[in-house]
Amino acid sequence: SIIIVSWNVWPLLRDCLQSIATLTKAPASTHTTSSVVRLFGKEAEWHLEVIVVDNDSSDATVTRLPLEFPWIRLIHSGGNVGFTRGNNIGYRASRGAYVFFLNPDTSLTAATRGAAEHHTPANSPTNAQELSAPENPLILLYTVIAHDPTIGMVGPQLRYGDGSWQNSRRRFPTRLTGFFESTWLGQYWQSNPWTRRMHMLDVPATAQHDVDWLNGSAMFCRRQALEAICQEGAPDPFDEQFFMYSEELDLGQRMVLAGWRIVYVPQTTVVHYEGRSSEQVVTRRHIFFNTSKVRYYRKYFGPRWAALLRAYLRLEYRIQVGLESIKWLLRHKPALRQARIGAYRAILRNGFRSYQ
């Protein structure tokens, strides 16, 4: 079962679904149950269903999708319920022994030849052979996870739209990681050991290996592992206290704690255009990202560390308000400075206590 949660990204979603269609085929039978099933594999021996959960999109998604992709099951969530709840809705409706959580801004077939060198560490794949990744992602990911019963999740190598490498493998954060990862302090000290450790920059990205968790844009999971997580207290595999961001970190943490392995599979590539849904509202993206980070800290490190992280993040935004105010007084791009000041003040009013 491929599950895609979508919100106002119809052009990207259409390309994603077309890439799935290219790698699969319709069954010969035309009976009712086969109308929502596709076949894949070298001999078309495996069955696949695709479920799109739409979070109340106002674009062409709900009108165009049934017309262009009648074999896809479209579920209306009833509102913008977030990435986490949307995936849980899709999961409950799915039937597959394996569940592929896929972002709408991905492509399973987009060309990635001609590597761009920026954002590409020395130990990442860069040559044309590695970039081309001729293996069908569906076949390879399924083969890896199906042939090893200890694996609960696998994920592919990710590439940006320009072909440059996107790091998708992670270690679990330590208590200090959150103060450097995706913060202004981390931008000024990019070689800090906590961020480097979490992003596994000491491990070559060219060979298959175990990781702690994977980027949530392409997670190919064993249903048995997801059910094991549900049986440990959560009614669904994703913890819905995370509206967006950190949900894949939490999922990986619970899966590893339950005894399952998570494996990075760089032999195949998925292109990830990254963050197009969240980019639609920049202020809310900051709120969602940091609120989820604080909630992760509360869940795994306790309320004191969560409060300390929240205070630090608020201090960073206060400093940014001050810096932007100085630039505004100097009349350096005043419209931009005013917009940023307004956004940062809105973020501070929220305080990373809710997603509102």
Give CA–CA dist 116/251, Å, rounded. Answer: 31
Q: What is the mean predicted confidence (pLDDT) over 285-294?
A: 93
Using alpha carbons, select from 173, 3, 177, 206 the residue that is nearest to residue 91: 3
User: Is the pLDDT score of 311 beyond 90?
Assistant: yes
Mean pLDDT (the chain) is: 89
111 falls in which pLDDT band (50, 70, 90)?
A: very low
Give CA–CA dist 2/77, Å, rounded. Answer: 17
Give CA–CA dist 141/220, Å, rounded. Answer: 7
Give CA–CA dist 41/27, Å, rounded. Answer: 13
Q: What is the mean predicted confidence (pLDDT) over 71-90?
A: 94
Q: Which pLDDT score, from 0 to 100, does residue 41 have?
A: 86
**Contact predicate 159/271, CB 8 Å:** yes
Report pLDDT digits (tens) over 41-79. Answer: 888 889 999 999 999 999 999 999 999 999 999 999 999
Q: Which pLDDT score, from 0 to 100, does residue 330 have?
A: 94
* Percent share of the chain, pLDDT over 70: 88
Using alpha carbons, select from 354, 195, 201, 202 the residue that is nearest to residue 287: 354
Q: Residue 215, exposed/middle/buried by CB under 10 A (0-12, 13-18, 19+)?
A: buried
Q: Which pLDDT score, from 0 to 100, does residue 260 have?
A: 98
Q: What is the mean predicted confidence (pLDDT) over 9-14?
A: 96
User: What domains lie within the chain, and their CATH numbers?
Assistant: 2-167+205-279 (3.90.550.10), 281-350 (no CATH)
Q: Which pLDDT score, from 0 to 100, does residue 28 have?
A: 79
Report pLDDT digits (tens) over 160-191. Answer: 998 899 999 999 999 999 999 999 999 999 99
Q: pTM value?
A: 0.88
User: Is the pLDDT score of 261 beyond 60?
Assistant: yes
User: Is the pLDDT score of 281 beyond 80?
Assistant: no
Report pLDDT digits (tens) over 119-167. Answer: 445 566 544 334 444 578 999 999 999 999 999 999 999 999 988 999 9
Q: Which pLDDT score, from 0 to 100, does residue 235 have?
A: 76
| Least confident residue range of 31-40, 75-84, 201-210, 267-276 | 31-40
Report pLDDT digits (tens) over 17-30. Answer: 999 999 999 887 65
Q: Residue 297, exposed/middle/buried by CB under 10 A (0-12, 13-18, 19+)?
A: buried
| Least confident residue range of 12-21, 90-99, 211-220, 234-243 | 234-243
